[in-house]
Structure 1
Amino acid sequence: MAERISPISDFLLQLDRLKAVDRRTYINGGERVENSAEHSWYLAMACWAFAELLQDDFDLLKLLKLALVHDLGEIDAGDTFLYSKNRATAHIDERNCINSLASHVGNPIRSLVDVWEEQEAGQSREAKLLKVIDRLLPFLHNMTSQGQAWRDNGIHKVQVLKMHQFIESDYPEIHMWFIEKLDYAVGQGWLKDA
């Protein structure tokens, strides 16, 4: 039995490295930045909650798997800030990390690469919801921290609008809520109105 447990325990310790990846998003109230493992858990819970709210026949197990693997590539690649100039190429290093994790001798999850690629492509119903929720959570954190990450990084309203525009076509009700909160943030001076 030990010969089976040792490899998987080493694999789990590789996954544990996600806890050491800090994001630029502040947790509720702005006390500190969250790490990517915290974000992954929060994303999975939020996806589950939204799937229940929307009652749109989601494959919940698939949705939760997509959420859990979503940021695993950051173990080696680090977190890429939403408004970073390097955003377009971040997936390359993330994909390399996923391939490395998938080929780990202790990895029993044969579909790891396929699940990660599905969330990356963002085409399935579940992957589309995941992308929306993944954008909303940092936005929500900015709302509860008086725009701390936006203010730290000099973010403008137009940047936020651009990165969240895709929500409108798939989830117009969520997009309307987002616009209302965005206007409030601008009114409070948390975002530059440009």
Structure 2
Amino acid sequence: MASMTGDRRLLADKTPFPEDLDERLRAQFTFLIEVDQLKSIMRQSPLASVRRRENDAEHSWHLAMMVVLLAEYSDEPIDVGHTVQLVLVHDLIEIYAGDTPLYDDAAGTDQRDRELAAADELFALLPDDQALRIRALWDEFEERGTPEARFAKAMDRLQPLLLNWMARGGTWQTPGVTANDVRARKAVIGDASGALWEAGRRLIDEGEQRGWSRSGDAPQ
């Protein structure tokens, strides 16, 4: 098993697994317990069903369901199973790096450095072969060099759009953010699906008309 960097105390250390447990299985169990923290990383998007924000685990599950249902709208053929793996892995690093809100430019300045460091630390908990495979999935999502990664990224931007529509604004009403800012940050959907970007843009346009977001380019 690859060694862990830093002095972080792992969740599994609270109730250590038996010493005679198979080493590979111990590493896998340790990683699975560590990523349970994803359930406590809160995002900015409001849930449609109850009055609270969603967490990263809920977000990742929702993206996986969207891939299964919306893959038919991809402009390029995609491997659905592989794309599901991408969306399930993509936010794991936020356990250590934290969530970076889409419209918070200041928080985004060091986002890449924080997330790279988190990836190095978190994936090192796994057996070497799985550490390489999971890290490769995360890198693929970030680089968007494959049809699957582009579609996965599109789902990552479409999902909060749908939640903000249901909230009649949600994070679209972040101070200083305009409808044009929303369009600019969501345009990546079009890199994977013209049909889904047309639908997403329609919701943004309608939301602006209804006063759920600010019109114009200048901060309000």
TM-score using structure 2 length: 0.80
Higher mean displacement: 173-182 or 119-128: 173-182
1:97 counterpart SS class:
helix
Q: Residue 68 of structure 1 corresponds to which residue in structure 2? A: 88
Q: Residue 29 of structure 2 corresponds to which residue in structure 1? A: 9
Q: Residue 146 of structure 1 corresponds to which residue in structure 2? A: 168
Distance 1:10 1:107 in 2: 14
Question: Where do 1:21-170 residues align within 5 Å?
Answer: 21-29=41-49, 31-54=51-74, 56-85=76-105, 86-104=107-125, 109-110=130-131, 111-170=133-192
Following superposition, the deviation at residue 45 of structure 1 comes to 1.1
Distance 2:165 2:192 in 1: 23
Which blocks of at least 5 consecutive residues in structure 2 are unaligned? 1-19
Following superposition, the deviation at residue 164 of structure 1 comes to 1.6
Distance 2:162 2:59 in 1: 12
Instruction: Decide which structure has the larger Cα Rg and report it.
Output: 2
Distance 1:118 1:126 in 2: 9
Indicate conservation of the 8 Å contact 1:23/1:35, yes or no: yes
1:34 counterpart SS class:
strand
Higher mean displacement: 105-114 or 116-125: 105-114
- Per-residue displacement from partner, 1:109-147 (whole Å, max 9, x unpaired)? 240111100000011000000111110100100000111
More helix as a share of residues: 1
Number of matched residues? 194
Following superposition, the deviation at residue 18 of structure 1 comes to 0.9
TM-score using structure 1 length: 0.90
Following superposition, the deviation at residue 153 of structure 1 comes to 4.1
Which blocks of at least 5 consecutive residues in structure 1 are unaligned? none
Distance 1:37 1:107 in 2: 24
Indicate conservation of the 8 Å contact 1:72/1:94, yes or no: no
Aligned-residue CA RMSD (Å): 2.1
Indicate conservation of the 8 Å contact 2:74/2:193, yes or no: no
Letter in 2 for 1:183: D
Following superposition, the deviation at residue 158 of structure 1 comes to 1.2
Q: 1:107 to 1:78 in 2, by over 3 A?
A: farther
Distance 1:20 1:153 in 2: 25
Indicate conservation of the 8 Å contact 2:144/2:153, yes or no: yes
Q: Residue 4 of structure 2 corresponds to which residue in structure 1? A: none
